[in-house]
Chains A and B, each alone.
Chain A
Amino acid sequence: MPTMNRGAVAGTVMGVLVVAVLGVGLASGLIMQRRAVALDSAPAPVLVVFTGHAESGARVSAFTFVVKPTGAASLIDPSSQLSLPGVSATTVGDASAFAGAQDIAAAIGAGAAHWAEFPETEWVAALAASGPVSVDVPEAVDTFDGHQVHSYRAGPQVVLPEDVSHLANAAQFLPADERAVLLGSLARAVITSVAATSSPARARSDMSAEALSAQLGRLAAEATFSGLASPAGGAR
């Protein structure tokens, strides 16, 4: 009899504990989801990083910009200096090889309250779905990706989705004003494609997919970038 009582008591106690833990776990999830909704309900500037790869293959930030709640955006110059603890990269462009958008946002500030990061595979897929894109190439550029020379004439032109990455890399070597024109042109094409697809749902972000999609949608409608900013200074 004493043995049977101990088993019954232990089972009851465990049952109560499990129910309590279950309740706490689920409740915490619900509470945090409500907090996320609360954050999204108050739109704030978001720093967006579209990762890419250099012609050498190294991971880079192809486009980095801050989108305001109104949809207006400012591109961050990839050559802007930044300092990340324990990271050898010294520019915004190179930082993506070692750090995520959250770290970059923290390092450069730029007034961003939120962050989002689109992996190259996602935005390239969005571009591929939307087809050839119109871009403005301010001067003739050439790149070599280890396999092929990619050459582009100067002027407005329609390019294939896979050309966007090469042109973004070429932009790094242009004078600042021409870099702003080319990167702005490319970023508009990418944003328009991304906003028209479900890509925001596959971005990494501290915002909900819905809130991020809405902010990018406003940017796509606005479709303007106010030149190149160097929030941390030290542009090349």
Chain B
Amino acid sequence: MAGTEGRMSTARDRSAVWMMVILAVVAALALIIGGVAWYKPGAPSVSSRTLLAPSKEATTSANGLTPAQQLFARRMYLEQVQSGTNIDRLAEGKLVSFDVTSRKVAEDTATVGITAHFVDGTSAPGSIGLVRDKGSWYFFSMEGERGSGVSGYAAGVDPKGSDQVDSFADVPDSAIDWNLAAEMVRQQTSQQEYLKALVEGPTARYVLGKPSSGAGTVNIDATVYSKGHKVKPAKIRLVLVPSTFDGRPYTFVAGMRPLGN
């Protein structure tokens, strides 16, 4: 009898414990519901969405380019690295104008001879190198010639840039900013009017404005004059992009676009 009463007592105890557990859970839910309403009075129902901007990382690889175009973009990018010192001068606003002095076109390359005029009144000869691909011209390099006895900025021009890329073949693909390289090709493909005029004429002179910073760009507005002013001067913008190569800052010529006259 005592054993039966003891089992009954134990069963009642278990019921009481279960009752307490269930009630405690209900109480916890009530506190949570009440607490949320208390903590965010009048707050919108959805407030925990991520605030981070969406990433475009996965959608745009450098590549919207074919393997052949990638090789072309790689060479264009590295040639501009090699001209880094001179392009930096351009981005820093040290050049005020340059005159076209000669044109030499051979197969798919062109060398446009120029005289660069600097803000300090000095000038230096040099050349702009362009390469043709499928009938379109692309800006590759900017070289200067140090004459004897020159001073000022003219004395600082770089024959092939002090930032030599000794051998393009040795540069690993991982060192290339492929997104930028691909965009340089795309931009210039769509801006052939000004590049062709530089290589084939009638462009005779670029007068450069002061560089201005943009969001991820350096912009230089310029007026392009033709020989004998036979063609109405065109107002264009050189769009340069600051980036890095091998851990060092470089500026790249992405393209040029019309500004309207």
Instruction: Let me know if A29 is at the binding interface, CB within 8 A.
Output: yes
Instruction: Let me know if A134 is at the binding interface, CB within 8 A.
Output: no
Contact in complex: B216, A143 (CB < 8 Å):
yes
Instruction: Let me know if A40 is at the binding interface, CB within 8 A.
Output: yes
Contact in complex: B214, A170 (CB < 8 Å):
yes
B53 contact set on A, CB distance < 8 A:
51-53, 57, 59, 120
Contacts A15-B23, A33-B41, A207-B42 known; A148 to B214 CB distance under 8 Å? no
Instruction: Let me know if B241 is at the binding interface, CB within 8 A.
Output: yes
B179 contact set on A, CB distance < 8 A:
146-148
The total number of A-B Cβ pairs within 8 Å is: 174
Mostly, the B contact residues are mixed
Contacts A8-B16, A11-B16, A18-B27 known; A119 to B215 CB distance under 8 Å? no
State in angstroms the CA–CA spacing of A118 and B219 once bound together: 32
Contacts A144-B215, A173-B212 known; A29 to B36 CB distance under 8 Å? yes
Shortest Cβ distance from residue B259 to the other chain A in the assembled complex, whole angstroms: 5
Contact in complex: B16, A7 (CB < 8 Å):
yes
Shortest Cβ distance from residue B138 to the other chain A in the assembled complex, whole angstroms: 15
Instruction: Let me know if B13 is at the binding interface, CB within 8 A.
Output: yes
Residue of A nearest to B17 (CB): A7
A67-75, A81-89, A105-113, A196-204: which lies at the interface:
A196-204
Instruction: Let me know if B60 is at the binding interface, CB within 8 A.
Output: yes
Contact in complex: B20, A10 (CB < 8 Å):
yes
State in angstroms the CA–CA spacing of A55 and B255 once bound together: 18
Shortest Cβ distance from residue A127 to the other chain B in the assembled complex, whole angstroms: 14
A10 contact set on B, CB distance < 8 A:
16, 20
B37 contact set on A, CB distance < 8 A:
28-30, 32-33
Contact with B along A96-136 (1 / 0, CB 8 A): 00000000000000000000000111100000000000000
Contact with B along A169-204 (1 / 0, CB 8 A): 110110000000000000000000000000011111
Contact in complex: B19, A149 (CB < 8 Å):
no
State in angstroms the CA–CA spacing of A51 and B217 once bound together: 22
Contact in complex: B34, A26 (CB < 8 Å):
yes
B31 contact set on A, CB distance < 8 A:
21, 25
Instruction: Let me know if A235 is at the binding interface, CB within 8 A.
Output: no
Instruction: Let me know if B68 is at the binding interface, CB within 8 A.
Output: no
Contact in complex: A119, B49 (CB < 8 Å):
yes
A39 contact set on B, CB distance < 8 A:
41-42
Contact in complex: A21, B30 (CB < 8 Å):
yes
Contact in complex: A154, B260 (CB < 8 Å):
yes
Instruction: Let me know if B56 is at the binding interface, CB within 8 A.
Output: yes
State in angstroms the CA–CA spacing of A36 and B39 once bound together: 11
Contact in complex: A11, B215 (CB < 8 Å):
no
Contact in complex: B23, A14 (CB < 8 Å):
yes
Instruction: Let me know if A142 is at the binding interface, CB within 8 A.
Output: yes
Shortest Cβ distance from residue B141 to the other chain A in the assembled complex, whole angstroms: 20
Instruction: Let me know if B26 is at the binding interface, CB within 8 A.
Output: yes
State in angstroms the CA–CA spacing of A25 and B31 once bound together: 5
User: What 7 A-B pairs are tightest by C-beta distance, nearest first?
Assistant: A25-B34, A29-B37, A36-B42, A53-B53, A144-B216, A7-B16, A36-B41
22 A-B residue pairings within 8 Å (CB atoms): A3-B12, A14-B23, A21-B27, A21-B31, A22-B27, A25-B31, A26-B30, A28-B38, A29-B37, A39-B42, A53-B53, A57-B55, A142-B237, A144-B214, A145-B215, A146-B180, A147-B183, A151-B237, A169-B215, A173-B212, A201-B46, A207-B42
Residues on A facing B (Cβ under 8 Å): 3-4, 7-8, 10-11, 14-15, 17-18, 21-22, 24-30, 32-33, 35-37, 39-40, 51-57, 59, 119-122, 140-149, 151, 153-154, 166, 169-170, 172-173, 200-209, 211
